[in-house]
Amino acid sequence: MGLRTGLVIWTILISCHSLQAQTSFVEAWPEIRYWHLRRLQESGVVGTSFAIFHDGEVKAAEYHGYADLDSKRKVDKNTIYH
C-alpha cells in the first residue's frame, strides 16, 4: 500500500469515527460515502474501494475510479492493490 493510499484510508477511518453517535447504518452510510469520495478527489488517488462488514456479512461496498489508469480498467471487487 502506498503512502497516499494509506493516508486516504486513515483519513476515512478517522472521519468515520465521528459517526459513532449515530444509531443506524442507514443514517451513517451517506456521510461515510461522502467522506470516501471527497478524500479520493482531494488526494488524487485514481482508484479505491471499501466495504462495511457487520457480523461477517458485507453490508455495503463501493468501488470507484481506475485500477489501471492507462488502460482505463475500472476498480471492481476483484481489484488487488499493491
Q: Which amino acid is at 35?
A: W
User: What is the three-class DSSP state of 12?
Assistant: helix
pLDDT digits (tens, 9 = 90+) for 50-59: 888 888 888 8
Once rounded to an integer, what is the mean pLDDT over residues 52-77?
A: 89
82 or 45, which is more confident? Answer: 45
**Nearest in space to 36 (alpha carbons), one of 60, 3, 71:** 60
pLDDT digits (tens, 9 = 90+) for 2-17: 545 444 554 455 455 5
Determine the Cα–Cα distance for residues 76 and 16; give it in Å rounded to an integer. Answer: 23
Pairing of strands 57-68, 47-54: antiparallel
pLDDT digits (tens, 9 = 90+) for 26-42: 888 888 888 888 888 88
- State the pTM of this model: 0.61
Average pLDDT over residues 73-81: 91
